[in-house]
Amino acid sequence: MNTRRDFLKKAGLASLALQLAPVLSWADRPVAAKAVNEGRVLRVAIMGLGSYGTRVAEAMLSCTRAKLVGVISGTPSKITDWQSRYGIPEKNCYNYENFDAIKDNPDIDAVYIITPNALHHDQVIRVAKAGKHVICEKPMAINAKKGQEMADACKAANVQLLVGYRMHFEPKTLEVIRKRKAGDFGKITFFQGLCGFTIGDPTQWRLNKQLSGGGSMMDIGIYAVNGARYMVGEEPVWVTAQETKTDPVKFREGIDETIQFQFGFPSGAVASCLSTYHMNYLDKFFLNGEKGYAEMQPSTGYGPIIGHTNAGELTQPVTNHQTVQMDEMAAILFDGMQPVVPIDGQEAIRDLKVIDAIYLAAKTGKKIGISI
């Protein structure tokens, strides 16, 4: 089996350029491919050197407009390893106590925060105060109130806040959005989002409420929440939800195992979604309209997205999500490029407002109104 590293090496810059050109056309953007492939390079320090941080770092090896130049970690051995693996100079290495000193480092433009959810709030604010652009993994915060505080801090510091919504640049996803906007599916009536897997190690941070802020909804569930919004093309106005817990030992108080939730939209469209840590093979989006449909499975995974509509298969090329995301983020930060679906702090706050409402609906058993 080919490894990610093998793929990145074989793909090369020429292949990436070819991939990005169609991505731009599906996004209905008049910007030429060279807008992504040329221009100022975004110099990034990654905070949090775990599995996803490593995935981003490996993907950035093929970026044309983004470069990994620094690290922030609480584990000295990881810093040493990344220094040798990615050629990171000592002066660009920090720990969680001293990273405020990046304000004096002109070689770092932005910090990508890839740490447990509950740590994002304080870390984003500290990076903003240091005068660096912020990229934060999703969910951006553990609730909408904290998310707004983060956005306010970035605005006050005159830095931009972006969130790692990699699916907003994925070619097949963009094609479905394009077709929906073009009216190919007619009036949208229904969306289904199924997101889940069976989680392993019970001691991991995702099952620790103090670090995660919740369970499956604060991890895999956000894909269904965000997907419902960009697939339907509207903001939900009400939500209902039901929580199911089969293992109260593994999934302690405050850690949701499975939540089913339903949305209503202003047009009358409805959505039915599921987020779980207790079932495998759940990675599916289905969008239905009066004139057609789109189905994607897998719909949000790291590997190839596979989908079709009533008109046939989606044939857009496979891209490395994180590679494209980082190059597009450079264009957003430096060129003022506007993505088809926003990836800024306000987009993240909208998701958090929905998640807050889902938790309240599950707790109370009531239909909860949403104002976004």
Joined together, the tokens standing for residue 90 give 């000592």
Q: Are strands 93-94 and 161-163 parallel, antiparallel or unpaired?
A: unpaired
Beta carbons of 120 and 137 less than 8 angstroms apart = yes
**Which residues are CB-contacts of 137 (< 8 A; sequence separation ≥ 6)?**
52, 112, 113, 114, 115, 120, 163, 164
Distance CA 164, CA 322 (A): 9
Distance CA 210, CA 119 (A): 9
Active site includes 103? Answer: no
Q: Are strands 188-198 and 278-289 parallel, antiparallel or unpaired?
A: antiparallel
Q: Which of 138, 146, 172, 353 is catalytic?
A: 138
CA quadruple 208, 214, 218, 224: dihedral sign: positive
Active site includes 138? Answer: yes
Q: Which of 112, 223, 230, 293 is catalytic?
A: 223
**Which residues are CB-contacts of 297 (< 8 A; sequence separation ≥ 6)?**
283, 284, 285, 306, 307
- Give catalytic residues, as residue numbers: 138, 223
